[in-house]
Structure 1
Amino acid sequence: MVKSSLNPFQQRRQGADPADHTAQLALAIADEVYLRSLLTDSLPTLAQPYEIGTISVQVGVPLRDHPQYSIDGVLTFEHIHCVLAGSGPEVPPLPEFQTHTEYQSVTHCHSDLSTLAENVAPSEAVNLLARAGFDADHIRQILQLPSQAWHHSWWYALGPEGVLTVPFQRHIRSRCFADGTFTLQFKDDYAQDRPHGFRSQSQNVPVMVHQDSLSFGENLTRLNRARRELNVSQALLIATDLSELEIEGYLRQNVSLSNQRHLQRPLTAHCRLCHRDLCPLHGVDSSPVMACRSFLPAEAVV
């Protein structure tokens, strides 16, 4: 049985927690930090912080196959699968090989040529490469390559546990056309497992607020309808008051749990109690603000 580690989901309500419609509102106004934390702070965790790129949410999404039902929200995030070496403080720099044999051991498999972008504007090509982690000099080099030349870079793939694995070498080439557009292509040399895509893929996670008036089976049925329509295996249930058996039941059905109180802060903004010193309404008792994405109460100050 699941016990001590799940205590936040078994606490009884100390007053009025947001009702279903209020929780949807909290989702709608939640900033990026909160949306990311829904994925990283869930149990079990849906994604590690370094696996998440851009993120957004749709609220009150109707189900096409069951128009009488809707899901409270759908989180869409960029799931990062591999990172450019040295592109961030947490990413190792270029690998060093003492012998040619060491180099060959991590590059003896070769992928087919893949198209990253076809006939895109220069600005789009620049943005695409910048998002991948290339600096301005490398972007310029890639876009100015001769027709038969390749740009070589080292990358690290994220393994099943979200850790950086054996490095692989990526070759990128560009084609510039008379209308000023670019086509970018790449291929990889790797040790054993082919890298999953160029950098990331879009992933959807259905989000539902637990309804106390429904049984365990009815709540799970709603989630399963959404998972089937979105063709995904993961789901997130926002709840506070669950029994120990319900917690274990949801976890065994591959449903991640998030504490419903997590969504209260954006809805309980109070300028007098906020610690955002640079805000012009900081400390103002008569502030008309009722909800704020940047509300920082005392307990949240580190």
Structure 2
Amino acid sequence: MLNVLTCPIQQQSPSTHDQVQIALAIADDNILKSLLVNCTPAIARPSLIGTVSSSIGVAIAPQTSVDGIIRYESIHCALAPPEFEAEHSLFPYTNQTTKQKEYQKLTRCESETRNLGQSVSLAQALSLLTQVGFLPRQVDEILSLSYEACHKSWWYTLDADGNPNVPFLRLIRTLRYPNGSYTIQYKDYFSQEKPCCFQSQTQQVLVEIKTGLQSFSETLEKINYCRNQLDIPKAILICDAVSDLEARGFISQGISLYAASDLFLPAQANCVNCITRDCPMNGTEDSPVLTCRRFCLGEDTN
């Protein structure tokens, strides 16, 4: 199921575990998102992932640590396009009675008032509103509201594929304090299912790196222990190769798989000295290859 790294690691080289952990430690957003999207089965879809970050070597007990934790924003709803401000696209009916019925159907339920930001600075308030997609003029309007006024905007909940689903109405009010800070509150009006957050919720995923020395039961025991201690149900197992039977076993326990070789950092390559014999560039003196994930020095065992 997973690609096998065929090159033996020389004694001075970092172990597979260390190579992967180093790659995770310096990983950019694209690599971390790839872990969430391209593992088997996938943790999340690209369109539903916001900001992402990672922590490596997190201690959870004496002599026990988890190889990594990925934190990402799981997006659940999105601001509707600006043209929806006039509601023409949302209610394209000429009959006023029909328009009113459709409006009442979409806004028949009301949520409690919730805080988007409490006693935040102007810079933080600007950031909160801009990041979700409000235009500059809309941000100015929201932050300049009088005490009892509200800003009205239409939003969409997103389905499992990240596509717009059911629209809902959101009212936003701003409280300004003498010290220059702001509290931004919002209330939703919806047809049936209440939006679970303003835009996204923070999710965590456990990351474990499997070496050839670990058995299936040992790996599963450690992952389950860490999941229980940290209360993180989702997990990704990074490994060189597992049998189809092991893969099915891990996946049945809610663990996604990711190939370790996809995370190895490219090394400075010299095709003349490389012992990866199945590579077409192997032994080429004037090879144009400068870096390679499969470059390996060592004694040729063929």
| TM, length-normalised to structure 1 | 0.80
Question: Do residues 15 (structure 1) and 7 (structure 2) align?
Answer: yes
Contact persistence 2:39–2:257 (CA under 8 A): yes
Whole-angstrom distance in 2 between the partners of 1:28 and 1:166: 39
Whole-angstrom distance in 1 between the partners of 2:258 and 2:89: 39
Aligned to 2:43: 46
Question: Do residues 31 (structure 1) and 23 (structure 2) align?
Answer: no
Matched letter for residue 268 of structure 1:
A
Report percent identity of matched pairs.
Answer: 36
2:232 match: secondary structure: coil
- Superimposed CA distance per residue, residues 125-156 of structure 1 (whole angstroms, 9 cap, x where no aligned partner): 00011111111110000000111111011111
1:218 match: secondary structure: helix
TM-aligned CA distance change 1:205 to 1:110, over 3 Å: same
Question: Do residues 109 (structure 1) and 123 (structure 2) align?
Answer: no
Aligned to 2:215: 215
> How do 1:65-214 and structure 2 match up within 5 A?
66-86=61-81, 95-97=89-91, 98=93, 99-160=99-160, 162-214=162-214
Whole-angstrom distance in 1 between the partners of 2:164 and 2:158: 5
How many residues are paired up? 260
Whole-angstrom distance in 1 between the partners of 2:4 and 2:158: 39
TM-aligned CA distance change 1:179 to 1:204, over 3 Å: same
Tell me, which stretches of 5 or more residues in structure 2 are unaligned? Answer: 10-14, 94-98, 270-287, 294-302
2:42 match: secondary structure: coil
Contact persistence 1:85–1:94 (CA under 8 A): no
Contact persistence 2:237–2:256 (CA under 8 A): yes
TM-aligned CA distance change 1:290 to 1:258, over 3 Å: closer
Contact persistence 1:95–1:167 (CA under 8 A): no
Whole-angstrom distance in 2 between the partners of 1:94 and 1:26: 50
Q: Shift of residue 162 of structure 1?
A: 4.1
Matched letter for residue 15 of structure 1:
C
Contact persistence 1:107–1:191 (CA under 8 A): yes
Whole-angstrom distance in 2 between the partners of 1:28 and 1:269: 20
Tell me, which stretches of 5 or more residues in structure 1 are unaligned? Answer: 1-6, 88-92, 271-284, 292-302
Matched letter for residue 259 of structure 2:
N
Contact persistence 1:26–1:267 (CA under 8 A): no
Q: Shift of residue 230 of structure 1?
A: 2.2
Matched letter for residue 81 of structure 1:
H
Q: Which moved more, 1:239-248 or 1:162-171?
A: 162-171
Whole-angstrom distance in 1 between the partners of 2:169 and 2:254: 35
1:148 match: secondary structure: coil
TM-aligned CA distance change 1:119 to 1:269, over 3 Å: farther
Matched letter for residue 31 of structure 2:
Y
Matched letter for residue 248 of structure 1:
R
Q: Shift of residue 100 of structure 1?
A: 1.6
1:178 match: secondary structure: coil
2:31 match: secondary structure: helix
Q: Shift of residue 218 of structure 1?
A: 0.7
TM-aligned CA distance change 1:105 to 1:148, over 3 Å: same
Aligned to 1:233: 233
Q: CA RMSD in A?
A: 2.3
Whole-angstrom distance in 2 between the partners of 1:44 and 1:244: 14
Whole-angstrom distance in 2 between the partners of 1:231 and 1:13: 33
| TM, length-normalised to structure 2 | 0.80
Q: Shift of residue 268 of structure 1?
A: 2.9
Contact persistence 2:115–2:185 (CA under 8 A): yes
Q: Shift of residue 159 of structure 1?
A: 3.1
1:156 match: secondary structure: strand
Runs of 4+ in 1 over 6 A off after TM superposition: none
Contact persistence 2:157–2:195 (CA under 8 A): yes
**Which protein has the larger Cα radius of gyration, Structure 1 or Structure 2?**
2
